[in-house]
Amino acid sequence: MNRVRLSMLVWLVATAAFGHEGHQPLPTRGVQLDLKSGKISLSRSARELIDVRTAAAERRESIERLRAYATIVAPWTKYAVVTSRLPGRVVALHVRPGDAVEAGQVLAEVDSLDLHTLRLDYQQALNDIDLSEKILAGVEPAAKAGSISGQKLIEAQQAHRQNLNTLQVLQTKAAALNVDEGTLATDEESRPLRLPIRSTVGGVVVHADLAVGKFIEPTEHLMDIVDLSTVWVRIGVLEQDWHRVAAGQTVRLTVSGLPGRVFETKVDKLGLMLDPQTHQSIAWAELPNSDKSPALRPGMNGQAELSWKSPKPTLAVPSQAVLSDGAERYVLVEEAAAKEGSEYQKVAVVVGRQSAGHTEIIAGKLLPDDRVVTRGGHELSSLFFLGVLRIGAETARTIGLKVEPATTRVVDRILSFDGALDVPPQQRTTASSQLSGKLVNIRVDRGQSVKAGEVLAEIASLELQDIQLELLRNHLDSELWSGTLARLRNVSDSVPRRQVLETEGRVRTLETKSANLRQKLLTLGLTARQIEGVLKTKRVVDALPVRAPIAGAVVDFDRMLGQVVRADESLFEIHDMSQVRVQAFVGERDSARVQVGQTARIRLVAHPDLETDGIVTRIGPVVGADSRTQAAWIEFKQPPSVSLQHNMAVRITLTTDSPASSLAVPLNAVVRDGLRSFVFVQKADGTFDRRRIELGRADDRFVEIKIGLTAGEMIATSGVPQIQTAYAAVR
């Protein structure tokens, strides 16, 4: 055993007898070191002078964390705006901001001219029915007695049925507007006719732009109602961090408006589209609110900390116990502790993540309950300064060291471009309503997969109501005239031929119009069964369905319940991610060098460890006037196994030529110090030398070596930045 006293070490290592900045100086007596075995012996006085402290290694849950900005938003189905279905003047207001309301509760009442017109038409229909009924009662006996022709009876019957049909259509219209039919039969003084404005959701009135006497339009935003029992947390995650996020991770939320409070929840959904402006994607979480005093309110901003644990507890030590000489990581383990002195063993370790003041130990000859030096270690570590750069096996694992021989390789001539993931237009679409109306129901959630034709939302539309009423009126008229035609044919001898032909023409016209109206409703999204139900029950379908044009996932929605939307206004965005391609932005001067069929290497910012190949399949015909770039589309040879999103940033490399091979090394093997370049060469004894080299041509993977290296020499190709740090410490 090569034991030397500290007085000899002072001669070997200039720094050994002096304290590091902020640490105690080493004693000049009572210290023994065995460099070969890595063992240090301290006398009692030396141990006390350095003030050595130890702590036990223990198994702990390793936790990784990610911070991001967050915003509180209301769930899609818990925030609603209030609008009126008809124009009119507000005559009663039953709530004010801050009031709690229930779904369906009357918030205000409107005096609408349209309702008065409906009442007038209804009462006129009742009068017409009364009159036609009396006329028919007088005509029927006369027709039986033969004093009048059968044609007169048919005309009286037809007039009465037309009046009944008119009343039926008006009753259907009143039901669609939630107007009591009994009110229509009375006058204004006895029973005033008012349109009730009801709440779509239960919650609290947070805004009201309404006053008695104000005239309002159907498109006007009157009130906001929010149910604060549950809120969503919208977490914006940077693209380069997206690969670290997963559903189920713990979220600790702090908001600016509630200092000192921390809210804990979990990530429940992940966004499916990247914002091209902010380069963020969205992780969603949900939080309950207090029923009596909701603390979290939509619009609040804060910070979310996402955290996730290792699959099982790992061995960890206090972070100050981990020592380093640049690349080497080790701890000093207390092997013997007595009153007269102590012994400590240098143990190389592979370290992992740091969390809560502890460092994870991935590998090394360290066991649970081993006591490691947590104070005084920096002073003792100076004893192991060797003056050479040697990487132990455990340290090699820590830094991911890889050593391989320098060899000849093909260094391609390349073109490099920025790009973005692109979902083809036929697989990326929006869903919208074909008629203007009020959004009354949302049937899908964030990121939900939907089938083509599936109902996403429902729109209450007066135009839809009018089309159904027109179909119902036309259907009733068609039945009436078909019956009239049958009766005319039965008495054809006493009826002019022209009248029969005119009736036949009218029946055909009504049937054609009914068929057209049916097709129109089918095109708008109603099913054949729903249309038959309208004709059978004499009740209209309340809302128009908004259906998914394609199968895919809902990636975007930015509307509120109760909001009035225009026809063809985009409501939902749906992406089918089964076939994603890359769009490259080729600079104008390089466009002639890009050809269909070229192989491309593709790297994603969101998934830095992924490299995959693709083929150029199409090149755009024009150069952008502002960007001065030409689009080229690249298809993946093999779809990546990671989750992809539209607009994810991509780096593309195209090979334009493959010259003869030459001596080359991976790009990661080269370190730069100012304008000079170096590689780390491993010698026969396992130590490393930093050697200056002269570089030649480079592609996206390798760089040519012109001077300074010969084929077969062993060089470090990964873990090089850590070796450079160790080299600086040794030097």
For residues 284 and 233, the answer to whether their CB atoms sit within 8 Å is yes
Cα–Cα distances in Å, from 58 out to 301, 318, 360, 383? 38, 9, 10, 27
Quote the Cα angle for 335-341-346, to 5°. 35
Neighbours of 178 (CB within 10 A): 11
Nearest one of 444, 414, 450 to 653, comparing CA atoms: 414
Quote the Cα angle for 260-261-265, to 5°. 145
Q: What is the pLDDT of residue 237?
A: 96
pLDDT digits (tens, 9 = 90+) for 54-68: 999 999 887 888 999
Query: Does the model's pTM come out above 0.85?
Result: no
| Mean pLDDT (whole number) for 89-111 | 93
Place of tokens 């020592």: 323
pLDDT at 550 over 90: yes
Q: What is the DSSP string of 131-193?
A: HHHHHHHHHHHHHHHTSS-HHHHHHHHHHHHHHHHHHHHHHHHHHHTT--HHHHTS-TTTS--
CA dihedral sign, ordered 626, 627, 628, 632: negative
Q: What is the DSSP string of 224-241?
A: EEE-TTEEEEEEEEEGGG
Chain centroid to CA 416: 29
Q: What is the pLDDT of residue 21?
A: 45
Q: What is the pLDDT of residue 19?
A: 44
Which range is least confidently modeled, 6-10, 263-267, 456-460?
Answer: 6-10
Q: What is the pLDDT of residue 326?
A: 63
The tokens describing 609, both together, are 């460890």
| Mean pLDDT (whole number) for 432-436 | 92
Q: What is the pLDDT of residue 13?
A: 37
Q: What is the pLDDT of residue 309?
A: 82
Chain centroid to CA 625: 32
Neighbours of 113 (CB within 10 A): 11
| Mean pLDDT (whole number) for 288-299 | 81
What is the spatial distance between Cα 552 and Cα 66, in angstroms, rounded to a whole number? 30
What is the spatial distance between Cα 625 and Cα 456, in angstroms, rounded to a whole number? 39
For residues 332 and 376, the answer to whether their CB atoms sit within 8 Å is no
Domain 434-473+483-573 bears CATH identifier 2.130.10.30: no
Strands in 519-626 per DSSP E: 544-547, 552-557, 564-565, 570-575, 581-587, 599-604, 611-623
pLDDT digits (tens, 9 = 90+) for 334-379: 998 888 889 999 998 888 888 778 998 888 889 999 999 999 988 8
Q: What is the pLDDT of residue 15?
A: 39
| Mean pLDDT (whole number) for 563-585 | 92
For residues 517 and 467, the answer to whether their CB atoms sit within 8 Å is yes
| Mean pLDDT (whole number) for 287-293 | 78
Which range of 308-312, 335-339, 698-702 scores highest in mean pLDDT? It is: 698-702
| Mean pLDDT (whole number) for 300-317 | 89
Average pLDDT value over all residues in the chain: 88
pLDDT at 137 over 50: yes
Q: Where in the chain is CATH 2.40.420.20?
A: 402-412+660-730
Q: What is the pLDDT of residue 492?
A: 64
Q: Where in the chain is CATH 2.40.50.100?
A: 78-225, 434-473+483-573
- Classify residue 126 by its DSSP letter: H
**521 backbone dihedrals φ, ψ, rounded to 5°:** -70, -35
Annotation: CATH topology of 65-74+228-309: Elongation Factor Tu (Ef-tu); domain 3 (2.40.30)
pLDDT at 1 over 60: no
Q: Is the model more confident about 338 or about 386?
A: 338
191 pLDDT band (50/70/90 cuts)? confident
The percentage of residues in the chain with a pLDDT greater than 70, rounded to a whole number, is 94
Domain 414-423+580-657 bears CATH identifier 2.40.30.170: yes
What is the Cα gyration radius of the chain? 41
Q: What is the pLDDT of residue 7?
A: 36
Burial of 376 (0-12, 13-18, 19+ CB in 10 A): buried
pLDDT at 577 over 60: yes
pLDDT digits (tens, 9 = 90+) for 680-696: 999 988 888 999 999 99
Q: What is the pLDDT of residue 28?
A: 54
Give the SS3 label for residue 721: helix
pLDDT at 10 over 60: no
Look at the chain and count its residues. 731
pLDDT at 8 over 90: no
22 pLDDT band (50/70/90 cuts)? very low
Enumerate residues 6+ apart whose C-beta is below 8 A from 541: 464, 468, 526, 530, 533, 534
Q: What is the DSSP string of 336-372?
A: EE-SSEEEEEEEEEEEEEEETTEEEEEEES--TT-EE
pLDDT at 717 over 90: yes
pLDDT at 113 over 50: yes
Chain centroid to CA 468: 38
CA dihedral sign, ordered 473, 477, 478, 483: positive
pLDDT at 431 over 90: yes
The tokens describing 344, both together, are 């400590």
Q: What is the pLDDT of residue 126?
A: 92
What is the spatial distance between Cα 666 and Cα 403, in angstroms, rounded to a whole number? 11
Place of tokens 């095109």: 523
17 pLDDT band (50/70/90 cuts)? very low
Spell out the SS3 assignment of 271-289: CCECECCCCEEEEEEEEEC
| Mean pLDDT (whole number) for 435-453 | 94
| Mean pLDDT (whole number) for 522-539 | 92
Q: What is the pLDDT of residue 591?
A: 87
Nearest one of 702, 705, 614, 694 to 410, comparing CA atoms: 702
For residues 285 and 232, the answer to whether their CB atoms sit within 8 Å is yes
The percentage of residues in the chain with a pLDDT greater than 90, rounded to a whole number, is 58
| Mean pLDDT (whole number) for 516-528 | 93
| Mean pLDDT (whole number) for 568-581 | 92
Place of tokens 């009286």: 156
What is the spatial distance between Cα 280 and Cα 651, in angstroms, rounded to a whole number? 17
Place of tokens 């105690």: 24
Q: What is the pLDDT of residue 520?
A: 93
Which range is least confidently modeled, 143-147, 557-561, 641-645?
Answer: 143-147
What is the spatial distance between Cα 328 and Cα 346, in angstroms, rounded to a whole number? 11
What is the spatial distance between Cα 88 and Cα 197, in angstroms, rounded to a whole number? 11
Q: Which CATH architecture has domain 78-225?
A: Beta Barrel (2.40)
Q: What is the pLDDT of residue 731?
A: 64
283 pLDDT band (50/70/90 cuts)? very high
Q: Where in the chain is CATH 2.40.30.170?
A: 65-74+228-309, 414-423+580-657
Enumerate residues 6+ apart whose C-beta is below 8 A from 589: none
| Mean pLDDT (whole number) for 92-98 | 93
Q: What is the pLDDT of residue 348?
A: 86
Q: Is the model more confident about 92 or about 730?
A: 92
In one-letter notation, the amino acid at residue 83 is T
Q: Which CATH architecture has domain 402-412+660-730?
A: Beta Barrel (2.40)
Q: What is the pLDDT of residue 9?
A: 35
